Amino acid sequence: MQSLTVKSYAKINLCLRVLNKREDGYHEIFSVMQAIDLHDELTLHQAKKGIVIQCDHPHVPKDHNNLAHQAADLLFEETNLKGGVRIDIKKQIPVSAGLGGGSSNAAFTLKGVNRLFDLKLSSQRLHALASRIGSDVPFFLYSGQAVAKGRGERIVPTELYKDYWLVLVCPNVMISTQRVYQKVKIDLTRDGSVINLNLCDNKDDFFETLRQFDNDLEKVVIGGHTVIGQIKRILESSGAIKSCMSGSGPAVYGVFERKSQAEEVAKKLTPGDWQIFLTRPIAGSSWLIQEESL
C-alpha cells in the first residue's frame, strides 16, 4: 500500500465541566463528547524520508506545530520506522473552533500511518502515543461517543442516542483556550457523577439529560464575545432542544430532532459573520467502518 485516504471527523462537547486545577498545570474535566460527520480529508503517502504536511487552509501550520506532523513524527520515532510520509489535508472543520480538528487529524494520522506501514500497533499503544500529543486526541481513537476524564485523556466509551441534527455556527472570532481556562471559575462541589448516561440510548431520556448538560467555559467566552450569546439565543428561539458552545469555542451548536427543522434554521442564520454547517452525530458502525477502511 503506497497511500490511503481517511476521513478525520470533528467532535462537539455535549457537556464540559471543569472540576479543579491539577498539580501538572492542567484542569481536571468531565466531558461528554460526540463525533459528528463534519470532517477533514487526510491522504497519506509513503515517502523515502521526512514528514511533509500539505494543506489547503492558509492558517494551518505545515511544520511541527501541526498535530498531524507531531503524530507522524512520534510514530516514526517510537517504532524506529524507516522512510517518511506526506500528509495532504483538505480542511472542512473550522480551525481553532472547539471542534477538535487538529486533534482529530493527529488521531487519524496515528491510525493511518499504523495501517499504511502495517505496524500492527495495539489500540492501547496508540492511546499512549495520542495522550502525549494532546488532551483531545485519544477520544478520536474510539467509537465516537465517550466520557472524557482527567485532562481529557481518560476515555470511557458510551452509547448515546444519535438520531438528531445539528446546526453548527462558527463565528469569525479567535479564542485562546489557555486564557479561557485561566479565567474559568471552578465550583469544587460539582463533579460528573451526578450525570447518569446509562439510559441515554433512547430519545426521550437523552433529550431530557441533554437539557441538564452545560459547558463551564461558556460564560467566560460570552463575557468577551457577545456574538456567542447572540447565536445561542437565535438557536434557542428557533426551537433548538439544546444550544451550547463546544469546547472553548467559538463554535456553537443547536440540537434539532428533524432535519427539515435544522435546514430551515440554517437558512435563517445564513446572513452574518460566521460559518454555518448542517451536520449530525456519527458513531458506532459508521465510525467502525471508517476505521476498517484505513
Which amino acids are annotated catalytic?
11, 136
d(CA 85, CA 144): 26
Tell me how crowded residue 53 is: count the other CB atoms within 10 A of its CB.
21
Contact 185, 226 (CB under 8 A): no
d(CA 69, CA 57): 15
Residue 23 CB-density burial (10 A; 0-12 exposed, 13-18 middle, 19+ buried): exposed
Tell me how crowded residue 281 is: count the other CB atoms within 10 A of its CB.
24
d(CA 256, CA 276): 15
d(CA 72, CA 84): 9
d(CA 42, CA 50): 17
**188: Cβ–Cβ under 8 A, 6 or more apart, which residues?**
19, 20
